[in-house]
Structure 1
Amino acid sequence: MIDVILKKGKEKAVLQRHPWVFSGAIEHVKGKPANGEIIRLVDAKKSFLAYGFYNAQSRVAVRLLEWDEDTTINDDWFRNKVRMAVASRSAILNDGQTDTCRLIFSESDYLPGLITDKYADHLAVQVLTTGMQNAMPIIIDELTQLLKPKSIFDKSDAASRAHEGLDTINALLYGTPPPALVLVKENGITYGINIAEGQKSGFYCDQRDNRHILARHTKGKKVLDCFCYTGGFTLNCLSNQAASVTSVDSSALAIETLQENIRLNNFGEANHSAIKSDVNVQLRKFKEDNEKFDIIVLDPPKYAPSRSALDRASRAYKDLNRLGMQLLNSGGLLATFSCSGAMDMETFKQVLAWAALDAGKQVQFIYQFTQPEDHPVRASFPEGEYLKGLLCRVW
């Protein structure tokens, strides 16, 4: 096994079990490991630190797997990690209300670069690292033995794969092609999910708990769901007898799927309207029309993919939330989110304080949203905590 030698003094994060080693921390590589090959990481004194995947093309040159020198990284090692991850989701999948969740959450489940989502009898995977790409035959075999899925679909279409020297993939790996709409259940609500053409792996199950929490406030209320995608918040609000829900998204496919989801749940269209539009443009139109709402949901895409983008993203979040606050009736609720890992909760609160000042509003933070238990945050990998949100009362 090839040794990768760290520079003197660069071992602290490794000893604390952080799974990333950046290329700038490496002093020397003995030999020429292939991208994705498992290497032995040692400190400047050549003492063992950990085993991990190596990739010379990536800024994260080593993704660590195992800190016990006597443990062999083999097929059984990968199979065991898959079994651990699946077993830890049993409470979610056995409650009778939900048959969709994230089964494997990359570094947070000790399998760096692998995301696996369960949609009823179908699985969707995203592979973001070369090392995990090499291990996929073992992973797929273990998943099929454990879960007997009808299909496993590879949604590895993220642009970040290029940093690992990987092409994008959107293809069937196992079984028969999933139907155009896979029917799943979350919180007792039915959704049709388009795995092949939908965003990410097809659905945003990271908002499962937050959708349920917000819906408790919506009975008899006029709700605006922005960046609604296929209707996660919309359907929960309608299920809890919201007076009306207006859903806005720029994707025609998302709006079409949302409308089908409303039909699947027999909610009817009388108290729902869907608008295909850029959210920022539509919010300004609502303001021009003097439209007001009791509850507004703002769940935008990732504005800050890295810390270098944080200043620009903060301005975008501030402007979006300012517009939302101006459309609320006095005492109304704003459920606002950021899925940018680079933005922590304190920064997000500050951005909302600036938005409130610009909007001429007073704001109370009454609840903090986060990601659910199938998106665990590993103690040694705080970067796994990316989803944050606030329920705000706006006066």
Structure 2
Amino acid sequence: MLTITIKQGKEKSILAGEPWIYLSAIDKVEGKPAERNKQGVTATVQSSSRQFLARAAYNAKSQIAARVWTLREDEPVDHALIKRRVQTAVERRLDMWRSADPQALVQLVDAEQDGLPGLLVHGYGGAEGYLVCQFNAAGVDLWKVPVVQALLKATGCPNVYERCDELVRKAEGLPITRRTLAGEEPPSRLSVREGSRLLPMDIRTGFTYPR
């Protein structure tokens, strides 16, 4: 496992709950070269006095060099953690999704707020509709399979599509990908409710058609 040592004094923001660790806050990264070059790999974060601070997803290609998974030394970052956090995030919003207009895009996972840095998930059309995911950081991109598995189980929705924010993924050094991850691809044109209006939209890209 990689070890990230933070510059003296920079640990305060991490201990206060800041989920991002910028490149400028890092003193050194220790570990095998293959691990240091693997985007999203889990690293142990320590202070300049070698005190444990966090476990985080490391990405040498991003200005946000690490994104915190956990501040607990006894909490491993594994399939179980990822699936548990997806389940918790969805359960928190499941009633809202079920009671919402089927034509609304409802957010089911909200990145750092749900302990899943960089992951955004919206649902459309209820349990028989579509889930649209954005993997906007290397850490969640590396855990894509358990994320999708957990979404399928938590929502009962069979269709999962990966949407891509090109600027964000380029900033992370990640490839540009748009694809079906489970079930069927959404149609290129659907009616999406925003407030009192129905807008023709491609939920795969967020593009709204002129009316």
Residue type of the alignment partner of 1:93: W
Task: With the length of structure 2 as denominator, give the TM-score of the two structures.
Answer: 0.87
Does structure 1 retain, via aligned residues, the 8 Å contact 2:164–2:205?
no
CA contact (8 A) 1:97 1:186 kept: no
Q: Which residue in the other structure is 1:20 paired with? A: 20
Q: Secondary structure at the match of 1:21?
A: strand
Cα distance, 1:146–1:9 mapped onto 2, change above 3 Å: same
Select the residue among 114, 129, 132 that pairs with 1:124: 132
Report the Cα offset of residue 97 of structure 1.
3.8
Unaligned runs of at least 5 residues, structure 2: none
Match of 1:95 in 2: 99
Aligned 1:374-389 pairs, distance under 5 A: none
* Contact in 2 for aligned 1:119/1:182 (Cα 8 Å): no
Matches within 5 A, 1:64-83: 64-83=68-87
* AA aligned opposite 2:210: I
TM-score (norm: length of structure 1): 0.48
Q: Which residue of 1 aligns with 2:53?
A: 49
Q: Partner of 1:7 in structure 2? A: 7
Cα distance, 1:184–1:148 mapped onto 2, change above 3 Å: farther
Q: In the alignment, residue 98 of structure 2 is paired with which amino acid?
A: N
- 1:1-395 matched pairs, under 5 angstroms: 1-31=1-31, 32=33, 33=36, 34-95=38-99, 97=101, 100-120=105-125, 121-183=129-191, 192-199=200-207, 229=208, 254-256=209-211
Question: How far apart in 2 are the matches of 1:21 and 1:196?
Answer: 30
The count of corresponding residues between Structure 1 and Structure 2 is 203
**Displacement, 1:130?**
1.3
Change (3 A) 1:185 1:149: farther
Amino acid at match of 2:133: V
Indicate the SS of the match to 1:142: helix
Q: What is the SS of the residue equivalent to 1:94?
A: helix
Give the percent of matched residue pairs that are identical in Structure 1 and Structure 2: 27
Q: CA deviation at 1:94?
A: 3.5
Query: Match of 2:22, as an amino acid?
Result: F
Q: Does the 8 Å CA contact 2:163/2:205 hold for their aligned counterparts?
A: no
Q: Deviations over 1:71-127 (max 9, x none)?
A: 111111001110111111134223354553111111122111111111111011111
Structure (1/2) with the larger strand percentage: 2
- Quote the Cα distance in structure 2 between the aligned partners of 1:130 and 1:97: 33
Aligned-partner SS, 1:112: coil
Q: Deviations over 1:168-220 (max 9, x none)?
A: 11222211222233455666865554223533xxxxxxxxxxxxxxxxxxxxx
Distance in 1 (CA, whole Å) between partners of 2:15 and 2:112 is: 16
Distance 1:135 1:102, change over 3 A: same
Question: Which amino acid in 1 is paired with 2:144?
Answer: M
Note the C-alpha offset of 1:152: 1.3
**Secondary structure at 2:182 match in 1:** strand
The CA distance in 2 between the partners of 1:195 and 1:255, in whole Å, is 15
In the alignment, the residues of structure 2 paired with residue 146 and residue 76 of structure 1 have an alpha-carbon distance, to the nearest angstrom, of 14
Give the CA RMSD over aligned residues.
2.0
Alpha-carbon separation, structure 2, partners of 1:127 and 1:53 = 13
Stretches of structure 1 lacking an aligned partner (at least 5 in a row):
200-228, 230-253, 257-395
Structure with bigger gyration radius:
1
Contact 1:157 1:169 in 2 (8 A): no
Does structure 2 retain, via aligned residues, the 8 Å contact 1:50–1:66?
yes
